[in-house]
């Protein structure tokens, strides 16, 4: 599962990331409210752990904007502000759970696990864009009803593109989400995999779905 940890205290962010990675999750960090909102809107996460006292933009406002944009990503609020009104405000704004600091890591991990379990149960099992259908349960794809075989990374790349349909993803974002790289390995890995996907998804069809956005990255969707 992909998680976003929003926390401005770097030590705490690091502590959370390591603990969640220890549970087998891929974890990204954001250290202020603006960065958190941009990432939460721009990339698919399975859950967000959100501190409230943040520089640049308050955690409650991040949550408000996220929900206003229609994103259902489960959010666990984690904050030293343990007062009842903060908790109530957070839950009213669409937070799924609330844990006051200081907290026991075991409890945090259990609550994140519970959020993810609920989210998986509610998540649609198919991602559809026009005649392209990805079945998340069986990890198989069809285009215009014809089965397309996808090895693991190609599947991961196509799933990411579909979850972010209509939005441009940079090579760095793709490397991070599909390969777990936090650095550019200095190869054209992403381009090679995009080429492979295009051969399988687009080559036999006049209507292309995977587009190069010059200087920025790649996007799945209608031509612009």
Using CB under 5 A, pick the residue from 8, 28, 46, 96 that binds Ca ion: 8
* Long-range contacts, stretch 135-139, CB < 8 angstroms, 24+ apart: none
Token representation of residue 6: 């929003």
Angle at 18 between CA 118 and CA 188, to 5 degrees: 90
Q: Which of residues 47-76 bind Ca ion (CB under 5 A)?
A: 51, 53
Token representation of residue 211: 């587009």
Q: Min. distance of Cβ 79 from Ca ion in angstroms?
A: 7
Our CB check for Ca ion shows the closer of 50 and 197 to be: 50
d(CA 42, CA 147): 29
Whole-Å CA distances, 217 to 40, 133, 160, 175, 220: 18, 22, 13, 11, 11
d(CA 161, CA 177): 11
Our CB check for Ca ion shows the closer of 8 and 46 to be: 8
Our CB check for Ca ion shows the closer of 53 and 170 to be: 53
Count of chain residues binding Ca ion (CB under 5 A): 3
Q: Min. distance of Cβ 8 from Ca ion in angstroms?
A: 5
Q: Quick check: 29 binds Ca ion (CB under 5 A)?
A: no
Q: Which of residues 136-175 bind Ca ion (CB under 5 A)?
A: none
Q: Min. distance of Cβ 102 from Ca ion in angstroms?
A: 13
Q: Residues interacting with Ca ion, by CB under 5 A?
A: 8, 51, 53
């Amino acid at each position: 599962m992909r998680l976003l940890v929003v926390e401005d205290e770097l030590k705490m962010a690091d502590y959370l990331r390591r603990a969640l990675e220890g549970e087998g999750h891929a974890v990204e960090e954001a250290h202020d409210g603006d960065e958190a909102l941009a990432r939460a809107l721009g990339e698919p996460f399975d859950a967000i752990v959100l501190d409230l006292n943040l520089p640049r933009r308050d955690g409650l406002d991040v949550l408000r904007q996220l929900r206003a944009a229609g994103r259902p990503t489960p959010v666990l609020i984690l904050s030293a502000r343990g007062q009842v009104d903060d908790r109530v405000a957070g839950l009213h704004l669409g937070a799924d759970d609330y844990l006051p600091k200081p907290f026991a890591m075991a409890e945090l991990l259990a609550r994140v696990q519970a959020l993810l379990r609920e989210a998986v149960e509610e998540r649609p099992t198919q991602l559809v864009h026009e005649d392209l259908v990805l079945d998340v349960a069986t990890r198989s794809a069809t285009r215009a009803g014809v089965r397309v075989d996808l090895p693991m990374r190609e599947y991961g790349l196509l799933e990411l593109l579909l979850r972010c349909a209509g939005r441009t993803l940079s090579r760095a974002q793709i490397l991070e989400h599909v390969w777990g790289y936090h650095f550019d390995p200095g190869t054209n890995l992403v381009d090679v995999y995009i080429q492979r996907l295009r051969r399988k998804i687009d080559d036999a069809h006049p209507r292309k779905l995977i587009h190069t956005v010059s200087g920025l990255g790649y996007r799945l969707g209608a031509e612009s």
